[in-house]
Amino acid sequence: LAVEIRPDGSVRLQHDGKKLSGPLDAVIDASTAQSITFLSAHSNALTGAIPRSVMTNKLQHLCLSDNELGGSIPDMTVCVNLRTLYLAGNKFTRFANPSCFKKLAQLTSVKLSSNRLSGEKLPAFGGALSLLKVDNCDLAGLEAEEIGANQGLRVLDLRGNNFTCCEQAARSILKACTLLTNESKRLLGELPENGLQLLQIPPKQQPQHKPKPQLLLQLLLLLQLQLQLQLQLQLQLQLQL
């Protein structure tokens, strides 16, 4: 892997799309694992679990999307400086410690899309998220009250899951939706039906098609011509009488 050791001793490791295969721990130098701050090896064919050796308080960026990693998404309690977590497009089946993510106060961007988390509950995250993508994971539930707490949320993707449509979940998602309506924020996925009722959103009305100004002018000219013809006919009739 391409390794950069910085003057402060921190390690930046990046090797994306290089057709790497086999377990991830086999391609990480054990002597530098504890010093890694940036680890990116997406779009390869890496297998197995994420090694515990890289789960440190120095890790800030972890991007392992689009591999064949599996098992549990590891306990990240010690990763207090983690800012980005990209594990989309793998074969993870569960969270080793769902409660750990709420303690990661600096975590701003999470992509877990297209994993095999059937039956799992989406964990609560700290309130600093700006991006949360968990589409197509077949998740069964979520910490409803936590979603709207992320005041900086810009992108929220909940498609392709089995979230229950309880009132609490609807209110929380609607709170996030309200935040996402301004400043080019985006909400991807459908809101629960009773959530729309709670917000009392009126059904979308079909726009009324207004005639174009040019067409209006043509209509007025036709009407004027018709009136002129009627007046001429009336005059002719009067003259004949």
pLDDT digits (tens, 9 = 90+) for 150-186: 778 888 888 888 876 556 556 666 666 666 655 445 6
CB 19 within 8 A of CB 45: yes
- Give the range with max mean pLDDT: 68-77, 118-127, 174-183, 201-210: 68-77
Distance CA 56, CA 172 (A): 32
172: exposed, middle or buried (Cβ count in 10 Å: 0-12, 13-18, 19+)? buried
What is the value of pTM for the model shown? 0.75
Dmax (CA) for the chain in angstroms is 116
**Burial (0-12, 13-18, 19+ Cβ within 10 Å), 142:** buried
CB atoms within 10 A of CB 210: 8
Encode pLDDT of 91-104 as tens digits.
999 999 999 999 99
pLDDT(30) > 90: no
pLDDT given for residue 93 in this prediction: 97
